Amino acid sequence: MNELTESQRMAATLKIMAAVDEWGLSGEQIMALLDLPEGQRSRHLQKFRENTPLPDIESVNLRIRSLLGIIDALRTSYPRNLNMGARWMNMPHRRFQKRTPVHTMLEDGSQGVTAVLSELDCAYAWELSGSTRG
């Protein structure tokens, strides 16, 4: 994400923090979902809600990209009811062994995040499959 300007990084941070708050995640869960370094404490999350962008670390940047994809896919899946995205994230789903998407991401790490994004965004899933037109 180092190709983003500081203001773009801050906008992405605010968007993600608003989403994880809507999904009902605790501080520790947010830390795990964002793959923040061990030295970070959950009490520091407030600065990300106010005026500090998420750290420019490759593992965090990968999560940022995926989470922004999930947020956008939820918005396009439920354009008339913005609350449905948070509801979907917290409802058990058959493709996640009856776990919620939130728990899938927390329990399975980056594979869980990829699974949730793939479920929501068929174009992303198509890319991952390596399929080509032909």
| Integer Cα distance of 119 and 123 in angstroms | 10
> Helix or strand or coil: residue 19?
helix
Q: Show the CA angle centred on residue 108, arms to residues 126 and 36, nearest 5°.
A: 100
At 97 the pLDDT is 95
> Helix or strand or coil: residue 99?
strand
At 38 the pLDDT is 80
Structure pTM? 0.87
At 54 the pLDDT is 94
- Region 85-99 average pLDDT: 96
- Tens of pLDDT, residues 35-69: 998 877 777 899 999 989 999 999 999 999 999 99
> Helix or strand or coil: residue 93?
strand
